[in-house]
Amino acid sequence: MAKDAGRQIEQLRKEIRRHDHLYYVLNRPEISDRRYDALFAELAELERANPELVTPDSPTQRVAGQPLEGFTTVRHAVPMLSMDNTYSAEELRAFDERVRRQLDGGTYDYVVELKIDGLAISLRYEEGILVAGATRGDGESGDDVTANIRTIKAIPLVLLGNGGIPAVLEVRGEVYMPTSSFVELNRLREEAGEPCFANPRNAAAGSLKLLEARITASRNLSFFAYSTGQLSAPLGVDHYETLERFRKLGLPVNPHIKKARDIDEVIDICVDWDHNRHDLDYQIDGMVIKVNRFDQRDILGATGRAPRWCISYKFAAEQAETVVESIDVQVGKSGILTPVANLRPVLLAGTTVKRASLHNFDEVRRLDVREGDTVVIEKAGEIIPQVVEVKKEQRQTRAAPFKLPSRCPNCGGPVKRDEEGVYIRCLNSACSGQLKERLKYFAGRGQMDIEHLGPALIEQLIETGLVKGFADLYRLRKEQLAGLDRMAEKSASNVIEAIQESKRRPLWRLIAALGIRHIGGQSAQILAEHFGSLEAIGAATQQELAGVDQIGPTMAESVYQYFHEPDTTAVIEELLKAGVSPEQLKTRRSDKLAGMTFVVTGTLENFSRQQAEQAIRQAGAKPSSSVSRKTDFVLAGDNPGSKLEKALKLGVKVIDEQEFVKMLGN
């Protein structure tokens, strides 16, 4: 049986790796997502039943179990140098002159690549297996981000090909976030009241430097390989050949890389990309030009910080001048006031820009931007328009400095500055502006997902006084909607039906919909699974919340505070009274086995590994993956393997499934 399972598992892994490569590297999937999920589920199930066969290179093992305490620093075997920059065709020609002189009349060609705007990393493969990943850091040493790197699906955990893979192969390249994923991530962050990333590079860097690999895994990072570090055997005689070998090994290489015979061809390619760069779904900030042959690179050598055989050509950031027609202050769902500049419409990098966020009042003061000012705007990472400069010399003398709001522009209620003095918040919890944003979020796709209840309708519902809180939605009747704009009878029934349907959404959706600061969909799921009900979350102490796997201290504090605000109990009671009854995934947590540590090994009859660990958590105990003297119980099923041996050696108490069920007492 185990032998059979072993073969089956290997087969499935091979199949899944092939599809990962087709999908993430070649952009050429051969099977549907559904079929892929089925293969993955089959593998996961087989591995659950045969835990001794799980190896770190399995596609199921991309996400590490435990968050890290911090990153360790690792020294690069070969330093990661930086690059000199050029900004014009003349400078490129000067670079070419230097190369020609030093190569002393020899013929040479270039490879021209896109300069991906992400962050450089180094991957280490030993015998074809990914063993480490590190950031560039200062070039000499960087952070060990292996756990996070492993979650990036474009990065193979095992290289493809039979034989011929160098025993040590360090691959260098750029981790980046596709523009579309960046836009979506910021949309979700904005909805959740979390600060947005300024551009995809910051988002990629922030996502790679998280201590929780599970969150990195959700960020849709990707990767392009562009050079090697330490190597036990060369992959080719030149750079272009090396990149082709990369492709054969299953590594993603950018498809737009080109050879150029001379500097004129290089310049043509650079100029083309300066125009076409907006067609890509990732950001590039220039081009990289590299001498192709390795023997010629050796002749050229390097200065202290950068090689002489390559240079970057940086695009100028696209800017436009326009006029600030007015400055609005918007109120967000947690009451934070955000200044926004309304601009005279102007074309910038392919889109018409009418508004630019001024971020916060500190920024307004720093720029000293005033209504009527002529300003220079730039797209940060070419996406979010930002005011980068105020043309003060063109200012009308009449323009007054922007006055900080002393009252909420929406409800006229009192406002307060936070301790750092950056944010101003409306303190009126009944502010209709805040309420609108809270309701839009509540009904949003990632939360209660109420179809037909869009922003315009929500605004009307609040303005007409039909809705004053979440629970009012569930009391709406069709006739009440009839009088609203663009509301035919059929649409009214659709809205009511959709609202009613949302009453039985899973618990995590309701938790997410409450709009607790720092709690997005993922942490809501963890809370729902762990506690099983809103009451249980509300009853938890801050320490208990922080003790939950993947819930950090900031989240714990925020959840605790939310449930101890005077209004919260009423909001929740009202919702339950109005008939909202979230589907409860797990039974209520008990503390029968509080403080104990369990290790599960072997196959159980009535529980999968995950279910057993879930039951352990729900009883207040902690599941662990390795046996030590601190382990209280080892729960052993069939074919338990080395963990049982270790338990017996250390004298740890071993229990079987029957005993386990008895201890749980349910």
Active site residues: 115
The nearer residue to ligand IVH, 51 or 142, going by C-beta atoms, is 142
The dihedral formed by the CA atoms of 268, 270, 276 and 279, expressed in degrees to the nearest 10: 140
Other C-beta atoms lying within 10 Å of the C-beta of residue 392: 12
From residue 531, alpha-carbon distances to 340, 365, 525, 544, 554 in Å are 40, 45, 10, 10, 18
The nearer residue to ligand IVH, 182 or 226, going by C-beta atoms, is 226
Distance CA 253, CA 271 (A): 22
Smallest separation (angstroms) from ligand IVH to the CB of 386: 22
Q: Are strands 258-260 and 110-116 parallel, antiparallel or unpaired?
A: antiparallel
Q: Are 139 and 148 in contact (CB under 8 A)?
A: no
Smallest separation (angstroms) from ligand IVH to the CB of 286: 8
Smallest separation (angstroms) from ligand IVH to the CB of 114: 6
The nearer residue to ligand IVH, 302 or 488, going by C-beta atoms, is 302
Phi, psi of 13 (to 5 degrees): -60, -40
The nearer residue to ligand IVH, 145 or 450, going by C-beta atoms, is 145
Distance CA 175, CA 143 (A): 14
Distance CA 181, CA 185 (A): 6
Q: Which of 224, 233, 232 is nearest to 251 (CA)?
A: 224
The nearer residue to ligand IVH, 289 or 615, going by C-beta atoms, is 289
Smallest separation (angstroms) from ligand IVH to the CB of 28: 22
Q: Which of 506, 620, 516, 532 is nearest to 564 (CA)?
A: 516
Smallest separation (angstroms) from ligand IVH to the CB of 266: 14
Smallest separation (angstroms) from ligand IVH to the CB of 254: 7
Distance CA 357, CA 266 (A): 38
Residue nearest ligand IVH (C-beta atom): 120
Smallest separation (angstroms) from ligand IVH to the CB of 121: 8
Give the footprint of ligand IVH on this chain (CB under 6 A): 81-83, 113, 115-116, 120, 136, 174, 226-227, 288, 307, 310, 312
Phi, psi of 174 (to 5 degrees): -115, 125
Smallest separation (angstroms) from ligand IVH to the CB of 227: 5
Distance CA 257, CA 260 (A): 10
From residue 133, alpha-carbon distances to 123, 229, 271 in Å are 4, 12, 34
The nearer residue to ligand IVH, 112 or 599, going by C-beta atoms, is 112
The nearer residue to ligand IVH, 115 or 153, going by C-beta atoms, is 115
Smallest separation (angstroms) from ligand IVH to the CB of 107: 23
The nearer residue to ligand IVH, 288 or 358, going by C-beta atoms, is 288
Contacts of 550 (CB under 8 A, 6+ apart): 67, 212, 214, 523, 526
DSSP helix, strand, coil percent of the chain (3-state; round to 5):
40, 20, 40
Buried b (16+ CB within 10 A) or exposed e, 59-86: bbebbbeebbeebeebebeeebeebeeb
The nearer residue to ligand IVH, 172 or 425, going by C-beta atoms, is 172
The SS3 assignment for 588 reads coil
Q: Which of 514, 409, 375, 502 is nearest to 449 (CA)?
A: 502
Rg of the Cα trace of the chain? 29
The SS3 assignment for 295 reads helix
